[in-house]
């Protein structure tokens, strides 16, 4: 998908909806330890869309799941601080956590066919969620479910509510997943690559729908993707992730027009767009590092075209290059 830079939605100036500090996730087995997320910091303002962008395996989905504690407790060691509204998510008792999930913060999963229960109709699943969080009657919940299907533009919504997930197309399942996530009016929406499995036409429809709903409902959205075009279309601010760390953050227009980190520049140069017809794609050489054996240096060193000796002398600290720009690179001059 071609990179399109969106016009940012101004932040409201209110307190942040989400505040993440030094988030770390380790997956520990008898054989090894995988360092999946390594000291991530970010915030999300009301009405803002934060796009987390990076290659597969860089820690994007793990970060999202850590925010709402969906990682397996027997294997995942999560540390740091995650605050959603007034809730300290990593220390919240499980009973309270169940109320916060869905009510305050909700998630659209990457593959709705595995996220939706195949033995219940989609309408039943949405109504059940509304009853669980709001304690209303089945009749009221059914009316709300129909309203939600109309809101996410499902054709013949009344009939589709009585369909099972396997009876819906990929695009309709994704719309049903969005309706389920919005059913309890969350203030924060997590979207984990919700358009990856869809064709280009449906992908654009879902992106426009999400953006429209986000503006209409005033939600804060964290949108995970590996597609630069999708990130530019949906996001107000970008966080570029590599080897479990955020290597660059900033407003979407600034990051895409003047990247500070070589990895961000590499992602942009390897993105296909219409003016490239007949040209060779400039892919990033090499592969992401092994998260079991992260070097005590910049993780991008083996692939970086601008590497210096100093790059191998430790993990680069974040550099504040401008009031809203950060990059982990020794080539970046502080503001």
pLDDT, tens digit, 9 for 90 and up, residues 278-298: 677 778 888 999 999 999 999
pLDDT band at 272 (very low <50, low <70, confident <90, very high): low
Average pLDDT score over residue span 60-76 = 95
pLDDT at 170: 86
pLDDT at 130: 93
Q: Phi and psi for 224 in degrees, rounded to 5?
A: -95, 135
The whole-angstrom separation of Cα 23 and Cα 66 is 9
pLDDT band at 117 (very low <50, low <70, confident <90, very high): very high
The whole-angstrom separation of Cα 118 and Cα 165 is 6
The whole-angstrom separation of Cα 284 and Cα 228 is 14
Tell me what the pLDDT averaged over the chain comes to. 89
From start to end of 105-258, where are the E strands? 105-108, 188-192, 220-225, 237-242, 245-251
CATH fold for domain 1-104+186-297: Rossmann fold (3.40.50)
The whole-angstrom separation of Cα 108 and Cα 95 is 22
Token pair of 332 as six digits: 């970046």
Among residues 269, 189, 266, 267, the alpha carbon closest in space to that of 226 is found at 267
Q: What is the pTM of this model?
A: 0.89
Give residue limits of the domains in the chain.
Answer: 1-104+186-297, 120-185
Average pLDDT score over residue span 40-64 = 95
The whole-angstrom separation of Cα 213 and Cα 34 is 37
Q: Are 312 and 302 in contact (CB under 8 A)?
A: no
The whole-angstrom separation of Cα 287 and Cα 303 is 8
Q: Phi and psi for 97 in degrees, rounded to 5?
A: -60, -40
Count of C-beta atoms within a 10 Å radius of residue 135: 9
pLDDT at 4: 41
The whole-angstrom separation of Cα 278 and Cα 47 is 40
pLDDT at 264: 96
Among residues 179, 177, 216, 167, the alpha carbon closest in space to that of 197 is found at 177
| Residue 100 Ramachandran class (φ > 0 left, ψ -120 to 50 alpha, else beta) | alpha
- Higher-confidence residue of 128 and 206: namely 128
Specify the range with the lowest mean pLDDT, choosing from 24-28, 97-101, 269-273, 329-333. 269-273
Among residues 34, 38, 1, 3, the alpha carbon closest in space to that of 315 is found at 38
Count of C-beta atoms within a 10 Å radius of residue 31: 6
From start to end of the chain, where are the E strands? 18-28, 33-44, 49-53, 76-84, 87-88, 105-108, 188-192, 220-225, 237-242, 245-251, 319-322, 325-327
Percentage of residues in the chain having pLDDT higher than 90: 68
pLDDT band at 273 (very low <50, low <70, confident <90, very high): low
Q: Which whole-number Å values give the CA distances from 231 to 4, 91, 207, in the listed order?
A: 8, 31, 10
From start to end of 226-272, where are the E strands? 237-242, 245-251
pLDDT at 281: 73
Model confidence pLDDT, tens digit, residues 206-260: 888 888 888 888 899 999 998 888 888 889 999 999 999 999 999 999 999 999 9
pLDDT band at 163 (very low <50, low <70, confident <90, very high): very high
């Amino acid at each position: 998908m071609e990179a399109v830079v969106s016009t940012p939605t101004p932040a409201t100036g209110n307190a942040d909806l989400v505040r993440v500090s030094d988030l770390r996730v380790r997956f520990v087995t008898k054989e090894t330890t995988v360092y999946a997320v390594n000291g991530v910091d970010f915030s999300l303002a009301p009405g803002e869309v934060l796009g987390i962008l990076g290659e597969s395996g860089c820690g994007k989905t793990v970060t999202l799941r850590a925010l709402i504690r969906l990682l397996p407790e027997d294997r995942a060691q999560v540390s740091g601080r995650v605050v959603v509204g007034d809730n300290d998510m990593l220390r919240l008792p499980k009973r309270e956590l169940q109320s916060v999930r869905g009510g305050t913060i909700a998630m659209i999963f990457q593959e709705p066919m595995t996220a939706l229960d195949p033995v219940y109709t989609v309408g039943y699943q949405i109504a059940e969620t509304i009853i669980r969080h709001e304690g209303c009657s089945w009749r009221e919940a059914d009316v709300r479910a129909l309203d939600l299907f109309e809101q996410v533009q499902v054709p013949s919504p009344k009939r589709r509510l009585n369909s099972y997930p396997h009876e819906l197309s990929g695009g309709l399942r994704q719309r049903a997943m969005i309706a389920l996530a919005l059913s309890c009016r969350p203030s924060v929406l997590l979207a984990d690559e919700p358009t990856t499995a869809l064709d280009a036409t449906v992908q654009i429809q879902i992106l426009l729908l999400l953006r429209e709903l986000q503006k209409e409902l005033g939600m804060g959205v964290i949108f995970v993707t590996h597609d630069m075009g999708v990130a530019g279309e949906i996001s107000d601010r970008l966080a570029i992730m590599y080897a479990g760390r955020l290597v660059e953050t900033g407003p979407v227009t600034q990051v895409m027009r003047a990247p500070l980190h070589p990895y961000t520049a590499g992602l942009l140069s390897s993105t296909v767009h219409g003016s490239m017809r007949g040209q060779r794609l400039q892919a990033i050489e090499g592969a992401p590092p092994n998260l079991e054996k992260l070097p005590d240096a910049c993780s991008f060193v083996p692939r970086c075209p601008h590497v210096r000796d100093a790059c191998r002398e430790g993990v680069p600290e974040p550099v504040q290059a401008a009031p809203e720009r950060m990059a982990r690179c020794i080539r970046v001059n502080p503001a």
